[in-house]
Amino acid sequence: MSESKKPVFQPNPEFSKDARIKNMSEYQALQDEAINDYESFWSRFAKEKVDWIEPFTKTLDESNFPFVKWFDGGKLNVSTQCIDRHLDTRGEKTAILFEGDRGDIQKITYNELAKSVNKFANLLKEDFGVKKGDRIVIYMPMIPEAAFAMLACTRIGAIHSIVFGGFSAEALKDRIIDANAKVVITADGAFRKGKPYMLKPVVDTALEGNTSVKNVLVIERNKEEITWVDGRDNSYAELIKNKSDVCEAEVMDSEDPLFLLYTSGSTGKPKGVQHNTAGYILWAQMTMEWVFDVKEEDVFWCTADVGWITGHTYIVYGPLATGATTVMFEGVPTYPDAGRPWKMVQEHKITHFYTAPTAIRVLHKMGEDEPKKYDLSSLKVLGTVGEPIDPPAWKWYYEEVGNSKCAIVDTYWQTETGGHVISPLPGATPIKPGCATLPVPGIIAEILDPITGEKVGLGESGYMCITRPWPSMIRGVWGDEERFVKAYFGDVKKDGKAVYFTGDGAKYDEDGYITITGRTDDVINVSGHRMGTAEVEAAINKDENVAEVAVVGKPHEIKGEGIFAYIVLKSDVEDEDAERKSINNIIKKEIGNIAICDDIIFAPGLPKTRSGKIMRRILRSIAKGEKITQDISTLEDPSIVAKIEMMVNG
Ligand code: WT7
């Protein structure tokens, strides 16, 4: 099928009627407003959307680009923006609708959320001496207390750094050390597939030896037995009892840091992406309103984990800033069967369902007919994020889950962008399967030629760049200014000026729609999670039998990409399968289960240039089963390629 024949799906007119942005001319008017007077555009929305304690005096200061300041002079507090200002009008509305793995349900109103967050904030202050600017690591399951912990930090100006619960003790330790954290908030464990699992023992291992952590706060969820370090470990149930439910919100500057979130890059060490206060919360709220068009009576469910940026922006901050009801789910979508999400949609009358293509593929594969068994008529908008969505998954999602009446918003963004940057708007944008379509109004995103820095033409590919700073953009890499500048502003120049490069390639179709084609760097996308090849290689190198390793991504039916490792051993091992196991065990220990390799090949050598650079492109092609046609005569040892090809593809 040629691209121009790609099917186009028009927005549902019923939905458009009441949408905030109703058609493409309204979209264009907003985007023109931004292009014509960028600062006025943002100043208008910042005034309209944020409850300022003191108004800002300057909209955008780019004199020190790429270190920019948004809404300088403004004072606000994010927890106030997410909670207090709703209490008069929607205090008794459900803020968080929690469903546990075993079906237990909690409905937490805005009034109750206010109390829990204030008590939690008082606990951090009074019992642990937490102050504005302190770093708090949160290592938690998907339970409401994770949201309380985040909001409690923002209430007192502490900077949270959430580490995804699937990361190993080593990975947790690295992040605790890099952030120099004072407190770790965790849980004994939680429930998955009907059974308890543990988190606290991972924290114990991570804190062995000397770290900066003075206190660990343990939320009792599964009530399994845990070891207790006196003087360090504290029971949440005990300490929260006598806390006041009033805690004055710290007055924060627009550019005070809000949180850190570690993500993978092209070196072995993850980067602590820093987001600041005003710009982040503004865009979290605006994208809830524009991209999801969430209304007062809606029930919004984002299935991500709070350990990823999607969980930060679209489970906690965005929905609560808008005053929505946000669903939080402890379990996995396929337990007790692949109808679980649809059962939840029916029961809670969920209107918005936002998930990753990998989850859609699993649900499709394991429960093709499950959606038919439930009443999904409450659904209005479906969303995807994390990787390109393949046409069969899109079709099933659109037809079977959305009953061919819901918009699918294919939202493209990153940990670094804080919120959506390219996405359809559900009431306005005609959509095409697998296509993120157009920049969200206010975002000046362009596909540039990496060499000339010029915008590429229709039908052409280039680098996905954002050419003006936007409010929710990354403000720094924690403790590493140089890496921030190099990693994001070092590759592409437009009109001689450095611009933000996402790391993704992209293409315009004949209508000017943007399709993301994938990473241009050594980052793999496993089930919508970013994994640096260098990070996995560093872990594998810890195996004493390994001499050299190169890791690449390989297309995977469910995960999108799987991890494929080419390893040169120091000398032959007796039992290759045992060696593969031992390597994956090291990966589990150093990073976590998400980085386990699907394929491990013991190669006689790696294809390298004469200067010693590993030719990953060749390794990627071999992993995919492609024939190598490119010129390899300049390699240090060209015969290696044929040998590896034989081993992998026969
Ligand atoms: C990378 C960012 C943003 C939350 C989840 C992942 C890829 C993200 C899409 C999409 C194609 C996508 C990109 C991006 N990506 N959304 N809709 N279509 N690719 O956050 O871990 O920071 O990863 O995910 O490659 O750079 P992240």
pLDDT tens column, 27-78: 999 999 999 999 999 999 999 999 999 999 999 999 999 999 999 999 999 9
Rounded-to-integer distance, Cα 16 and Cα 31, Å: 18
Rounded-to-integer distance, Cα 232 and Cα 42, Å: 45
pLDDT at res. 628: 86
Mean pLDDT calculated for residue range 486-490:
96
Q: In which element (H, E) is residue 96 found?
A: strand 94-99
Rounded-to-integer distance, Cα 224 and Cα 240, Å: 20
- Mutational pocket test of ligand 1: of 412, 420, 423, 501, the residue with most ligand atoms within 8 Å of the beta carbon: 412
- Kindly indicate the confidence band of residue 101, based on its pLDDT and cuts at 50, 70 and 90: very high
Question: ∠188-274-522 over CA atoms, to 5°?
Answer: 90
- Mutational pocket test of ligand 1: of 162, 525, 526, 559, the residue with most ligand atoms within 8 Å of the beta carbon: 525
Could you report the per-residue pLDDT of 316-350, keeping only the tens digit for each?
999 999 999 999 999 999 999 999 999 999 999 99
Q: Is residue 250 lining ligand 1, measured as CB closer than 6 Å? A: no
Residue 491 predicted with pLDDT over 80: yes
* Location of structure tokens 């070891």: 227
How many residues are present in the chain? Answer: 650
- Mutational pocket test of ligand 1: of 283, 305, 413, the residue with most ligand atoms within 8 Å of the beta carbon: 413
Nearest atom in ligand 1 to the alpha carbon of residue 264 is 21
Q: What totals of helices (H) and strands (E) does the chain contain, helices first? A: 21, 32
- CA of 546 relative to ligand 1 center, distance in Å: 32
pLDDT at res. 267: 82
- CA of 360 relative to ligand 1 center, distance in Å: 16
pLDDT at res. 2: 44
Residue 4 predicted with pLDDT over 60: no
**Strands, E assignment, 438-594:** 445-448, 461-466, 476-477, 493-494, 497-498, 500-508, 514-519, 523-526, 529-532, 546-556, 560-569
Amino acid 578 reads A
Assigned token pair, 189: 């464990």
All residues at 6 or more sequence positions from 96 whose CB lies less than 8 Å from its CB, including other chains:
106, 107, 108, 113, 144, 147, 325, 326, 327, 328
Which class for 116: exposed (0-12), middle (13-18), buried (19 or more C-beta within 10 A)? Answer: buried
- CA of 524 relative to ligand 1 center, distance in Å: 11
- Kindly indicate the confidence band of residue 5, based on its pLDDT and cuts at 50, 70 and 90: low
- CA of 418 relative to ligand 1 center, distance in Å: 11
Q: Which of helix, strand or coil describes residue 58? A: strand
- CA of 530 relative to ligand 1 center, distance in Å: 8
CA separation, residue 620 to residues 387, 541, 586, 623, 645 (Å): 18, 20, 23, 5, 11
Q: Is residue 516 lining ligand 1, measured as CB closer than 6 Å? A: yes
Rounded-to-integer distance, Cα 595 and Cα 530, Å: 10
- Mutational pocket test of ligand 1: of 394, 438, 530, the residue with most ligand atoms within 8 Å of the beta carbon: 530
Average pLDDT taken over every residue of the chain? 96
Amino acid 526 reads V
Nearest atom in ligand 1 to the alpha carbon of residue 384 is 17
Amino acid 211 reads T
Residue 306 predicted with pLDDT over 60: yes
Residue bearing the CA closest to ligand 1, atom 5: 386
Mean pLDDT calculated for residue range 296-300:
98
Residue 3 predicted with pLDDT over 50: no
Nearest atom in ligand 1 to the alpha carbon of residue 528 is 6
Amino acid 250 reads E
Based on C-alpha coordinates, what's the Rg of the chain?
A: 24
Amino acid 66 reads P
The residue among 75, 86, 52 whose CA lies nearest residue 320 is: 86
Rounded-to-integer distance, Cα 84 and Cα 622, Å: 56
Rounded-to-integer distance, Cα 416 and Cα 387, Å: 15
Rounded-to-integer distance, Cα 200 and Cα 218, Å: 8
Mean pLDDT calculated for residue range 100-110:
98
Q: Is residue 519 lining ligand 1, measured as CB closer than 6 Å? A: yes
Assigned token pair, 229: 């370090």
- Mutational pocket test of ligand 1: of 387, 389, 437, 594, the residue with most ligand atoms within 8 Å of the beta carbon: 387
- Kindly indicate the confidence band of residue 630, based on its pLDDT and cuts at 50, 70 and 90: confident
Residue 78 CA, distance from chain mean position: 20
Rounded-to-integer distance, Cα 423 and Cα 471, Å: 17
Q: Which of helix, strand or coil describes residue 640? A: helix
- CA of 311 relative to ligand 1 center, distance in Å: 13
Worst-scoring range by mean pLDDT, 127-141, 403-417, 609-623? 609-623
Q: Which of helix, strand or coil describes residue 417? A: helix
Cis peptide before 55 (omega within 30 of 0): no
pLDDT at res. 1: 41
Q: In which element (H, E) is residue 340 found?
A: helix 340-348
- Kindly indicate the confidence band of residue 158, based on its pLDDT and cuts at 50, 70 and 90: very high
Q: Is residue 312 lining ligand 1, measured as CB closer than 6 Å? A: no
Cis peptide before 270 (omega within 30 of 0): no
- CA of 318 relative to ligand 1 center, distance in Å: 18
Q: Which residue has the higher pLDDT, 337 or 268?
A: 337
Please, what's the b/e burial string for 276-302 (b: 16 or more CB within 10 A of its CB; e: otherwise)? bbbbbbbbbbbbbbbbbbbbeebbbbb
Q: Which of helix, strand or coil describes residue 282? A: helix
Q: In what order do the strands lie in the sheet with 461-466?
A: 445-448, 461-466, 500-508, 514-519
Q: Is residue 305 lining ligand 1, measured as CB closer than 6 Å? A: no
